[in-house]
Amino acid sequence: MRKRFTSLHTASTRAMQATTCVFALMLAALICACSTPGRDEGAVSAGPPDRGVATAPVRYALPPMGWNSWNAFSCNIDEKKILAVADAMASNGMAQAGYRYVTVDDCWVGGRDPKTGKLYADAHAFPGGIAALANYVHSKGLKFGLYTSGNVSTCAGMSTDRHPPSWPQGANGGSLGHERIDAQTFADWGVDYLKLDLCGGKLSTFAAMRAGIAASGRPMYLSINPYSYNRTLRTRFADDGTFYAPAYADTSRISQDITESFASVESIVDIAAADAAWAVPGYFNDLDMLEVGHAFSADQDVAHFIMWAVMASPLNAGNDVRTQRDATRALLTNPGIIAVNQDALALPAVLDQTDSMGALQVWTRPLVQSGTRAVAFINRGAAPVQATVRFASVGLDAPHHAWDLLTGSPLPVADGSVSVTVPATGARLIRLDGRDPVAATGPLAAQRWIWSVTRAGSAANDPDSEVGVKVWPAAAPQPLLPAGAKRADAIVAGGVAYRDGMAVSVPTQIVYRLGRQCSSFQSDIGLDRRSPPTSRAAFQVWADNVLLYDSGPLSAATPPKTVRVDISGRDTLRLVVTPRSGGDARDRAAWADPSVVCTSGSVGAP
C-alpha cells in the first residue's frame, strides 16, 4: 500500500547573502536574503506586496444537511407529505443531529402567470401554496428548500413518459430567462435553499440565478446540477474547459443521478476523488442525494454514508423519514460520522492508499483540531478484509490514540498503527489522534504539509497532476516527499526562475498546520513555463478558511506577483491555485520562494 503523507526532512542551512535587502516587515528581513555570489540558484520573493482583488467571506462554511423529496417520492408529492416529513424530522432526532433543510424537488410547479410572469404551485398538490408550506417548515425550526430548472421546463416536464399524466408536468415551469423574477418569488415565499437542475438548458442560467438571489436580498443556499439532461458535460470539471462551478454555486453535483445500486455509489466516489481539488472553502462537491434506507444492505448503507461524510458532501437524506427503520435513523443521525462531515476545516478526503486489486481503499482528511485525522476504509471487494493504517503514513507523531466513529469506541494502537476488519462492500470510519507537524520560520518547500490534492485527486493517478518540490540549495539533503509529489528541477513563475518552491498543476491545494505560532506568509506567484498561452489561474491564500488574498486571474504572460499576508493567530494555512474557467490539463503554476515567520524554531535559518 502506498503512502501519501510521508515526513519531509528539514532542508539544510540556507546560505546568507553578503548584501542585505532592507524591508520594513520582519518577514522580508528574515526571508528575502539573496545568496552568496556564485551560489545563487534563482530569484527570491522580494517584490512589493500585491493587493490582489477584493475578497469576501464565504456564504456557507459547512456542507448542508437536510432532506429532499425526489428519491423517496419522485413526482408523487403533495403538501400533506411535506408537512408530515417536517413533523417527523423535528421529532425523530434528525433536526437535532443537524438536518436543517426540507426540500421539495421537481413536480411542484403548476405554471407561470402570463400577466405577472411569476411561477405558481400546482393547486391540486399544494392547495395552501408554497409560502404557507415554507412558513410551516420554519415553525418547526427547520429551513425550506425548493427546486427549479435551468431550462424552459423542469426535468420532469421534459420526461412525460416517466410518470402518469395525472402528475404535475412542469411544462413551461423552468427558470431559464426568468432567473431574476423567480429568485425574487422564491425569496418572497421564504425559500432558504434552491436546487437548480440544468435540465438540458444553458450554463448561463447559473450565473443569472446567482445574481438574482443576490438582488433579492435573501440568503439562499444555491445547489446546482449541471449534468441533468447534459450527457456531454464531463464530470471532471478541469477536463471540460467551459464551466467553473465554484464561481456560481455553494455546491454542485459532480455526476449523473445516483441509482439504487452500490455500483452507482462506487462510481460517484471515484468521480469525487478526481474532483476533490475543486472544493475550495465555501464550495462543496455534491455527491447527490443519499440512498440510505432504500435498497442497500446494512453494510452498504454504512459505506455509502461514510464516504459522503468523509468527502465533505452535502448530506441530503432521500428516504421516507416518516416510516424509516430504527437502524436507518440511527445511521443517519450517527454523531461521530456527522462530526467528520461538519468539521470546520471542511476538507474533502483524499485517496491515501489502495491495495493491488483496488478493492480496499484508505481515505484520509485532517480535522480542525490539531493532530487529528479522519480515516475511512472502504472495501469494494466480495470478502471481508483486515485493514491497517500507520499514524506515520498520515503525518502524525506520538502520542497515538484511535476511535471507531461508528460505535464511539476506542481502538487499540499497536506499534504506531491501527487495524480494523472491513466487511465486504462496507466501510469503517476512524479518528486518529496524534501530534501534527507545525510550520517553523523559513522556507515552506522543505516543510511537511498535512494535506494536499491535485486536479485528479492524486498525481499517481494522472500524469498531468503534480506537486513538484524544489529545495535550495541544490546540494542540501532533499526532503522525503508525499506520494504523488515529485522533485521539481525548476520553479518558474511568470517567466522568472526561483531557487525553491512548489510547482503545481491547476487546480491544486496544500494545507500547512501553523499552530497559531506564525505571523506572516510570503511568496511570489505566477504561471510557469509549461502552461499554454491561453491558461488562466487564480492564487488564493486562506487561513482557517478565511480568504486573506486572491490574485484574480493571471495568465502565462503575467509577471510574478508577491503575496504577503498576516497569519497571526491562525491554525491552518491553505494555498489554493484554481482556474477561473474549466481549465486545461496542462496548466501549471508556482508558489515561488514561499516562506513563513513563526515563533517556533526555524527552517533554513543561518
* First vs last C-alpha separation in the chain: 39
* pLDDT value, residue 458: 63
- Position of cell 417536517? 86
pLDDT at 264 > cutoff 70: yes
d(CA 118, CA 115): 8
Kind of pairing, strands 65-68 and 101-104? parallel
* pLDDT value, residue 536: 85
- Domain range summary for the chain, segments of one domain joined by +: 26-57+438-598, 65-341, 371-435
Does residue 246 have a cis bond before it (omega within 30 degrees)? no
59 contacts 219 by C-beta, under 8 angstroms:
yes
d(CA 323, CA 89): 11
Kind of pairing, strands 417-422 and 385-390? antiparallel
d(CA 575, CA 523): 10
332 contacts 292 by C-beta, under 8 angstroms:
yes
Range with the poorest average pLDDT among 178-187, 474-483, 592-601? 474-483
Query: All 3 cell numbers of residue 450?
Result: 498535512
Chain centroid, CA 598 distance in Å = 28
* pLDDT value, residue 482: 62
Range with the poorest average pLDDT among 112-116, 329-333, 482-486, 529-533? 482-486
State the pLDDT confidence band at 581, using cuts at 50, 70 and 90.
Answer: low
State the pLDDT confidence band at 300, using cuts at 50, 70 and 90.
Answer: very high
CATH T-level fold of 65-341? TIM Barrel (3.20.20)
pLDDT at 425 > cutoff 60: yes
d(CA 32, CA 18): 12
* pLDDT value, residue 1: 34
Structure-model confidence comparison of residues 425 and 5, the more confident one: 425
Structure-model confidence comparison of residues 173 and 429, the more confident one: 429
* pLDDT value, residue 175: 96
pLDDT at 282 > cutoff 60: yes
Spatial neighbors of 80 by CB under 8 A, at least 6 apart, are none
What's domain 371-435's superfamily in CATH? Golgi alpha-mannosidase II (2.60.40.1180)
Question: pLDDT tens digit string along 317-375?
Answer: 999 999 999 999 999 999 999 999 999 999 999 998 888 677 999 999 999 999 999 99
Domains 26-57+438-598 and 65-341 share a fold: no
> The dihedral of CA 163, 164, 168, 174: what is its sign?
positive
Which of the residue ranges 483-492, 532-541, 559-568 has the most confident prediction, judged by mean pLDDT? 559-568
d(CA 11, CA 31): 15
Percent of the chain exceeding pLDDT 70 equals: 84
Given the residues 197, 301, 433, 593, select the one marked as catalytic.
197
Structure-model confidence comparison of residues 162 and 398, the more confident one: 398
DSSP tag of 599: S
Q: What is the CA radius of gyration of the chain?
A: 25
From the list 107, 95, 100, the residue with the least C-alpha distance to 70 is 107
Spatial neighbors of 364 by CB under 8 A, at least 6 apart, are 4, 5, 349, 350, 352, 373, 374, 375, 376, 389, 394
Kind of pairing, strands 143-149 and 193-197? parallel
Mean pLDDT within 522-534: 86
Range with the poorest average pLDDT among 384-388, 433-437, 552-556? 552-556
Question: pLDDT tens digit string along 62-106?
Answer: 999 999 999 999 999 999 999 999 999 999 999 999 999 999 999
* pLDDT value, residue 166: 55
The C-alpha torsion from 549 through 550 and 555 to 556, rounded to 10°, is: 30
Range with the poorest average pLDDT among 53-67, 238-252, 363-377? 238-252
**DSSP structure string for 117-153:** --EEE-TTT-TT-HHHHHHHHHHTT-EEEEEEESSSS
pLDDT at 564 > cutoff 80: yes
- Position of cell 540556507? 14
d(CA 385, CA 171): 51
Rounded to the nearest integer, the mean pLDDT of the chain is: 87
Question: pLDDT tens digit string along 10-26?
Answer: 233 333 333 333 333 34
pLDDT at 6 > cutoff 60: no
Phi first, then psi: what are they for 527, rounded to 5°?
-75, 150
62 contacts 338 by C-beta, under 8 angstroms:
no
**DSSP structure string for 88-118:** HHHHSSHHHHT--EEEE-SS-EEEE-TTT--
State the pLDDT confidence band at 29, using cuts at 50, 70 and 90.
Answer: very low
pLDDT at 238 > cutoff 70: no
Task: Let me know if 197 is a catalytic residue.
Answer: yes
What's domain 26-57+438-598's superfamily in CATH? NPCBM/NEW2 domain (2.60.120.1060)
Question: pLDDT tens digit string along 121-160?
Answer: 999 999 999 999 999 999 999 999 999 999 998 998 775 4
* pLDDT value, residue 47: 87
- Position of cell 522580494? 46
Structure-model confidence comparison of residues 244 and 346, the more confident one: 346
Question: pLDDT tens digit string along 458-492?
Answer: 644 555 567 889 988 776 666 666 656 788 888 99
Starting at the earlier edge strand, list the strands of the sheet with 221-225. Answer: 284-286, 251-253, 221-225, 193-197, 143-149, 101-104, 65-68, 315-317
DSSP tag of 354: E
Given the residues 188, 239, 240, 257, select the one marked as catalytic.
257
Task: Let me know if 257 is a catalytic residue.
Answer: yes
pLDDT at 510 > cutoff 80: yes
Kind of pairing, strands 360-366 and 284-286? unpaired
The Cα angle at residue 589 between residues 583 and 594, in degrees rounded to 5: 145
Query: All 3 cell numbers of residue 379?
Result: 472495501
Kind of pairing, strands 554-555 and 496-498? unpaired
Note the pTM of the prediction, 2 decimals: 0.90
From the list 174, 156, 184, the residue with the least C-alpha distance to 77 is 156
Query: All 3 cell numbers of residue 345?
Result: 476545516
